[in-house]
Structure 1
Amino acid sequence: MDAEWTIKGALEWTEGYLADKGDENPRLSAQWLLSEATGLSRTHLFMNYDRPLSSDERATLRDYVKRRGAGEPLQYITGEVTFRYIPVKVRSGVLIPRPETEVLVSEVLAALPDPVKREARWNEEAAAQESEAVEALKEALGKAQEALAENQRAAETFREADAADVEEADAVEERERPIGSAESSANPEVATAPLLVADLCTGSGCIACSLAYEHPDVRVIATDIAPEAVALARENIEALGLEDRVAVLQCSLGTGIGEKRMGTFDAVVSNPPYVPTSVLANIPREVADFEPNLALDGGADGLDLFRPLVVWAARALKSQGVLACELHEGHMDAAATVAKQAGFTQVRIVDDLAGRPRVLVARRA
């Protein structure tokens, strides 16, 4: 790249280069990579066409373009993707979150009870103490006004004395106010009714984190067999400040979850490996060459993991608990039969954003 290349020149060159390498959407890829390299949003790229790239930006862009030209997914290059309302870290060895999985999260949230309403609570003791503090403040201000009437000092001197009195009154009020009643005696009720969810084959943790982020009463136990996925999921949980509501175990499906938890879950959700083995031969190169086969291959009919998952879910869920799984569009009827044979009722199939059957939702009897 020429040292004097502007953003416009870099975009045009990158788009052409990636088109020659077979990128399905070279213009979008060019914008995405240059945005990441410069720290500018795509909108600001267009507003700064004439800005030259710095040497560091050019070096970063070269690396990104080389990797993209070799077929590496954009998400792995930038290291992050937006999933519903949260940013999710991604990296090689862990499946990249996809838009269709957002539908899975929507179905689980819709099936769970609404968040517990926090009722305002009147704290009589706190109210009395707050009233006393207000009276103390009024008394202090009254004394300051009496001092003004008695002593006709200069206005500036009086303002200093008055400020000192008010400061002391505020300090008295603060000392006497009990912890937890800083603003008023009407405080939110803190008690909640936690909803327990198991997220099997969690991968990056995008499902578990989204459920906890969007529903304040949800607590999630997430599992994955791959150590790379477990480590990444924990990073995402920590980055979102959800450590007290989402935990991750390394195990196959629900095998690491203790017997005492059986029958206590409100929902079991999973995006397991579900691509039929025969279909894997025809998936895009950037998926086949870069994303983990372990997270994709679902066996001959894509249901190798779904079958034991359904059996476990039937034991783990409460009565009327919800099971929701993302599966291959070509085998949804077979999956529905498996769920019914395991004792699930109200089995239905939900389409993804492209209108393809994608998510199975059912209730435990």
Structure 2
Amino acid sequence: MWTIKAALDWTIGFLERKGDENSRLSAEWLMSEATGLSRIELYVNFERPLTLDERATLRDFVARRGKGEPLQLISGKVPFRYITVLVAPNVLIPRPETEVLVSEAFAELKLPRVADHVAAGENGEEVVSPELPELRVVDLCTGSGCIACSIASEYPAAHVVALDIAPEALALAGKNVEALGLGNRVEVLESDLLGALDPGKKGTFDLIVSNPPYVPTKVCDSLPREVSEWDPRLALDGGEDGLDLFRRFLPDALSYLKPGGVLAVELFEGHLEQARNGACAAGFDQARIALDLTGRPRVLIARKPR
């Protein structure tokens, strides 16, 4: 009988032979997706037989994983901070280091505690106090929209303009905005960097946040297969030193931020000092570098002078 335990053991062995370095984690993830059970529930239901539909779904998932397809694409979704976002081929898959980017941006903004400004309405709905300060944000190179949606979902007075040039990214970001019910506060626009913004809004944004293509071209060729073969090159390759797009949008970022506004950018670990120098030369100040979850330099935070 093909029980959860038997199928899990077989899947672990199969993925090991295919070179999956985290075969147990992958197997548990795929089994959870196929059965709808959490990883803990799998282990207390080891002897439960798989249904025919579950077996067919698992067989498809395992075959795709065996070919190197990322788990996130197989499941079609990924958790990001306090939300879950849809993912799709040809759009950058959100990763944990980008959660640090959002955390550092929030920390730099020093926003009031949301819980002090939100109450339950008569029908249990969330009512936001008008005293909660508005937050105007641009998410540049939005990709899946994970950053824009996280900011809007965590700070109910945020209004975010999410920009990208890739049609696949724009379509996916729009789906995530709709799925999370954020359409009244997140606007998705096609844009070459900041080019689609209304020039009349210069000097009005509190935050410009970006996870742009930042991997140096030569490094792109040595990335793990799961990244190089499944994430779009357009979302990875940042030119010779990874800072090509960063340099292009710095002047416009400065002009669109209000005095004291924050720029937060995720960048390649080897070039944060160079980026900080570039930001200061462009007119930003209070530039600092934050580390990612592995202790590597990852995020540049800078302010427009008041």
TM range (shorter): over 0.9
1:46 pairs, out of 43, 46, 67, with: 43
**Residues 109, 215 of structure 1: 8 Å contact kept:** no
How far residue 44 of structure 1 moved from its aligned partner, in angstroms, is: 0.5
The amino acid that maps onto 2:105 is V
**Residues 135, 158 of structure 2: 8 Å contact kept:** yes
2:135 pairs, out of 170, 190, 195, with: 195
How far residue 194 of structure 1 moved from its aligned partner, in angstroms, is: 1.6
Give the Cα–Cα distance (whole angstroms) in 2 for the partners of residues 89 and 119 of structure 1.
28
Provide the secondary structure at the position in 2 that maps to 1:318: strand
Give the Cα–Cα distance (whole angstroms) in 2 for the partners of residues 14 and 332 of structure 1.
41
Higher helix share: 1
The amino acid that maps onto 1:288 is S
How far residue 97 of structure 1 moved from its aligned partner, in angstroms, is: 0.5
Give the Cα–Cα distance (whole angstroms) in 1 for the partners of residues 182 and 225 of structure 2.
35
The amino acid that maps onto 2:217 is T
Structure 1 unmatched runs, 5+: 121-180
Aligned to 1:178: none
**Residues 128, 156 of structure 2: 8 Å contact kept:** no
**Residues 230, 249 of structure 1: 8 Å contact kept:** yes
Aligned to 1:128: none
- 5 Å matches for 1:230-249? 230-249=170-189
Q: Identity, % of aligned pairs? A: 60
How far residue 190 of structure 1 moved from its aligned partner, in angstroms, is: 3.6
1:313 pairs, out of 232, 249, 253, with: 253
Structure 1 residues 286 and 317: CA distance shift in structure 2, 3 A: same
Give the Cα–Cα distance (whole angstroms) in 2 for the partners of residues 33 and 113 of structure 1.
40
Bigger Rg over Cα: 1
2:230 pairs, out of 285, 290, 294, with: 290
Aligned to 1:333: 273
* 1:186-245 superposed Cα distances (whole Å, 9 cap, x missing partner): x97545532111000000001001111111221100100011111111111111111111
How far residue 114 of structure 1 moved from its aligned partner, in angstroms, is: 2.0
2:163 pairs, out of 208, 217, 223, with: 223
Q: CA RMSD in A?
A: 1.7
The amino acid that maps onto 2:84 is P
Aligned to 1:301: 241
The amino acid that maps onto 2:271 is H
Q: Does 1:34 align with 2:46?
A: no
How far residue 300 of structure 1 moved from its aligned partner, in angstroms, is: 0.4
* 1:247-269 superposed Cα distances (whole Å, 9 cap, x missing partner): 01011111011101111000100
Deviates more, 1:264-273 or 1:192-201: 192-201
Aligned to 2:295: 355
| TM-score w.r.t. length of structure 1 | 0.79
Provide the secondary structure at the position in 2 that maps to 1:273: coil
* 1:310-362 superposed Cα distances (whole Å, 9 cap, x missing partner): 11111100111000000000111111111011000011100001000000000
